[in-house]
Amino acid sequence: MDLCSAPQLGSLYVTPMLEGKTAVVTGSGRGIGKATALLLAEQGASLVVSDRDGQEAQETVAEIVQHGGRAIGLPGDVTSDAFADELISAAIDSFGSVDIIVNNAGYAWDAVLAKMTDAQWDAMLAVHLTAPFRILRAAAPFLKEAAKREEAEGRKAMRKIVNVSSTSGLRGQVGQANYATCKAGILGLTKTVAREWGRYHVNCNAVVFGWIATRMTDASGVAGNERAGAPAGVPAAVLRQIEEATPLGRRGTVEEAAGAILFLSSPLSDFITGHALCVDGGLTM
């Protein structure tokens, strides 16, 4: 085969890989989450688009629907106490199932450890660890009952969980004691769920992102967080150093990040679980 004319991933299948599946993607109003929602929809999944910003969530929904997909938007904060149950209920009520959960929502709020406040620490725990835990706990009854029902019918359907981690959780990062701790912690949660839920035909994996070109990693004068009144982004000099240290010499695109999530959400990964897939241009190899 002429490699220049080789088919794209989706074209290897007569029908889309995720036809008939329902996917929940948190933080899918923009960035990696939006790219993921669009790609999963392109592969046939019905989407629950979740984001704090209701307008951005609806823009993602509109784009999916415009291209013939099925999607609903659920605005809200993943850290609120009732949101996990609302999210899973929305998927089941709207589409009858939960087959793919992508725990992507998050942000950074940086400071060196000596100057980090309790509010900064607690905020990262809430969004990067407690929220995914609650969402998976809320989904557990459906996942277990669906597996038992399908086994009784003599069939098996694999369901997918993809948790988003970061190279900060593998290597540490100056100014990110809170964020790095949480991104390491999500790997422990991933492996534990993989062990507990394999019997229910659930693959639970993580993507470990390096520097992906999003607003969070855009160059700015100072690293900060919009919620705290500081601009998002990283100092331009730091960004240049990271790109120089990356063997591929650049940041990844949100589409490349979404491609890794699609892989772990698809039948191509049916015998992969408890794995942390580094998507970092070779930074941590």
Residues with catalytic roles: 179
Question: Are 179 and 124 a contacting pair, CB within 8 Å?
Answer: yes
Tokens read off for 220: 């700015």
Check residue 231 and give left, alpha or beta (phi > 0: left; psi -120 to 50: alpha). Answer: beta
> How would DSSP label each residue in 32-74?
HHHHHHHHHHHTT-EEEEEES-HHHHHHHHHHHHHTT--EEEE
Tokens read off for 270: 């049916």
Using CB atoms within 10 A of its CB, is residue 114 exposed (0-12), middle (13-18) or buried (19+)?
exposed
Residues 6 or more apart whose CB falls under 8 angstroms from that of 85 comprise 138
> How would DSSP label each residue in 178-222?
HHHHHHHHHHHHHHHHHHHHGGGTEEEEEEEE--B-SGGGSEESS
Q: Which residues pair with 165 in a beta bridge?
A: 208
Using CB atoms within 10 A of its CB, is residue 66 exposed (0-12), middle (13-18) or buried (19+)?
exposed
Look up tokens 């970092």; give the residue: 280
Look up tokens 């897939």; give the residue: 277
